[in-house]
Amino acid sequence: MAEVNLGQNNLAQNSLAQNSLAQKKINKYLQDLTAALRTLPSEQASDIVEELRSHIVDKVAVSGDMTPAAVDSALAALGRPEDLASLYLTDDLQLRALASRSPLLILRSLFRWASLSFAGFFVLISSLLGYFLSGALIACALLRPIHPLTAGLWLIPNAEDYEISLRLGFGSVPPGGRDLLGWWIVPIGLAVGFGLFFLTARFGLWSIRRLRRARRIGAH
Does 94 reside within a domain? no
Within this chain, do residues 152 and 68 fall inside the same structural domain, yes or no? no
- On whether the CB atoms of residues 194 and 130 are closer than 8 A, the answer is no
- On whether the CB atoms of residues 93 and 212 are closer than 8 A, the answer is no
Within this chain, do residues 149 and 67 fall inside the same structural domain, yes or no? no
d(CA 37, CA 31): 10
HEC per residue, 65-121: CCCHHHHHHHHHHHCCHHHHHHHHHHHHHHHHHHHHCCHHHHHHHHHHHHCCCHHHH
Within this chain, do residues 139 and 212 fall inside the same structural domain, yes or no? yes
Within this chain, do residues 122 and 167 fall inside the same structural domain, yes or no? yes
- On whether the CB atoms of residues 72 and 26 are closer than 8 A, the answer is no
Within this chain, do residues 178 and 115 fall inside the same structural domain, yes or no? yes
Does 89 reside within a domain? no
Tens digit of each residue's pLDDT, the chain (220 residues): 544 454 555 545 665 666 778 888 888 999 999 998 888 888 888 988 999 888 888 888 877 677 888 888 888 888 888 888 888 888 888 888 999 888 888 998 888 888 878 888 999 999 999 999 999 999 999 999 999 999 999 999 887 788 899 999 888 888 888 999 999 999 999 999 999 999 999 999 999 998 888 776 555 4
Within this chain, do residues 120 and 190 fall inside the same structural domain, yes or no? yes
d(CA 172, CA 206): 42
Residue 1 DSSP one-character state: -
Within this chain, do residues 114 and 207 fall inside the same structural domain, yes or no? yes
Does 91 reside within a domain? no
Within this chain, do residues 108 and 73 fall inside the same structural domain, yes or no? no
> What is the domain range of residue 188?
102-220
pLDDT at 138: 97
Within this chain, do residues 204 and 131 fall inside the same structural domain, yes or no? yes
DSSP SS3 for 51:
helix
Does 86 reside within a domain? no
Within this chain, do residues 114 and 210 fall inside the same structural domain, yes or no? yes
Does 190 reside within a domain? yes
Does 69 reside within a domain? yes
Q: Please state the φ and ψ torsions of residue 150, each to the nearest 5 degrees.
A: -125, -25
Total domain count, the chain: 2
Contacts 24+ apart (CB under 8 A), 141-150: 141/185, 141/186, 141/187, 141/188, 141/189, 141/190, 141/193, 142/190, 143/168, 143/169, 144/169, 144/183, 144/185, 144/186, 144/189, 145/186, 148/183, 149/173
